[in-house]
Amino acid sequence: MKGQIRKSLSGFYYIQSEGQLYQTRARGNFRNRKITPLVGDQVIFESTNLTDGYLLEILPRKNELARPPVANVDQGIIITSLIEPDFSFQLLDRFLVMLEYRDIEPIIYLSKTDLVADTTLEEEIMGIYEKIGYKVLSLSNDQVTKKLQQLFPERLTVFMGQTGAGKSTLLNKILPELNLKTGEISTSLGRGRHTTRHVELLPIADGLVADTPGFGAIEFADIETTELPKQFPEFLEASINCRFRECSHVDEPNCAVKKEVAKGRISETRYTNYLQFLNEIKNRKPIYKRKR
């Protein structure tokens, strides 16, 4: 039978197929082949009842995320707050690069805008990212719940963002019966406590949504220096006028991207973050796998 993994818990994989949810275990050969089934995977399985099935094969994935461990994601909604925790351009750009690299459509949601009287920062964020072509929603938008629900049908959506930014709160507004746990900000640390315990695909508005653990650090473990510029859409558009085909937009002469930054057409903040990410990738330590 063919189905989709909707939940993974304690070594069991819960597969949705033809309106039924089957509890299965993975065959031992997955471990031998170093393959880990992920929530969102399309799979082949066998089962004579709803509780004693076996996962046999994972069909090809179009993408996957390591954290959260989800496969075949269509879009990622980045929940980023203006305050408590404070907004970070760098963190938002890290999420955007991660999603772009995995061919996942990013959507930016600004939370806690009602707690900030001055709208300058909100307007700056929307001005920068809408110009690039990203969808940007905020709490001050009318009918934001309906706007989000219009994005869900026939798509697998991942909610992500810094801990305490309000992911579970937003999901509870969209579907109150979920009653997901929400955590308060830790005053001493300035960040939220982890409140989401496992990844599960939730059927919402004719689509599937994964509520995921919050986290404030993203490392570019698998992106190469030549690939990083391609994850900035505005760089990619401007680079057709660069002198060199594989321009890194750092020291090369006649770099169109640097010219656009100087003219204010590309955000200086985005360019500064790009340089930092590029430096991190250049200086990252190689990962050596232990021999068995």
Nearest CA among 105, 77, 90, 117 for reference residue 214? 77
CB 161 within 8 A of CB 214: yes
For residues 15 and 25, give the distance between their C-alpha atoms in angstroms, rounded to a whole number.
10
DSSP helix/strand/coil, 95: helix
**pLDDT exceeds cutoff 70 at 225:** yes
pLDDT for residue 130 is more than 80:
yes
Partners of 46 in beta bridges? 54
DSSP type of residue 128: H
Its pTM stands at 0.86
- Confirm if 172 and 182 have CB atoms less than 8 A apart: yes
Q: Is residue 274 scored above 70 in pLDDT?
A: yes
pLDDT at 178: 65
Q: Could you tell me which residue, 190 or 116, shows the higher pLDDT? A: 116
The DSSP secondary-structure symbol of 153 reads T
**Chain-centroid distance, C-alpha 65:** 8
The pLDDT, as a whole number, for residue 213 is 55
Using an 8 Å Cβ cutoff, are 215 and 67 in contact?
yes
Q: How many Cβ atoms sit within 10 Å of the Cβ of residue 45?
A: 22
Question: Is residue 229 within 8 Å of 255, Cβ to Cβ?
Answer: no
Residue 211 CA to residue 9 CA, distance in Å, equals 15
Q: By the 8 A CB rule, do 162 and 214 touch?
A: yes
Task: Average the pLDDT over each of 70-74, 83-87, 90-94, 131-135 and give the range with the smallest value.
Answer: 83-87
In the chain, what percentage of residues exceed pLDDT 70?
85
Q: Which residue has the higher pLDDT, 111 or 153?
A: 153
**CA 49: distance to chain centroid?**
35
Nearest one of 106, 242, 79, 246 to 164, comparing CA atoms: 79
Statement: residue 122 has pLDDT above 60: yes
Query: What pLDDT is recorded for position 195?
Result: 40
Model confidence pLDDT, tens digit, residues 39-85? 999 999 999 999 999 999 999 999 998 877 899 999 999 989 898 88
Q: Report the range of poorest mean pLDDT among 7-21, 147-161, 172-186, 193-207.
A: 172-186
Task: Please state, in angstroms and rounded to a whole number, the distance separating the CA atoms of residues 58 and 55.
Answer: 8
Grade residue 215 by pLDDT with cuts at 50, 70 and 90: low
pLDDT mean over 269-274:
98
Average pLDDT, the chain: 85
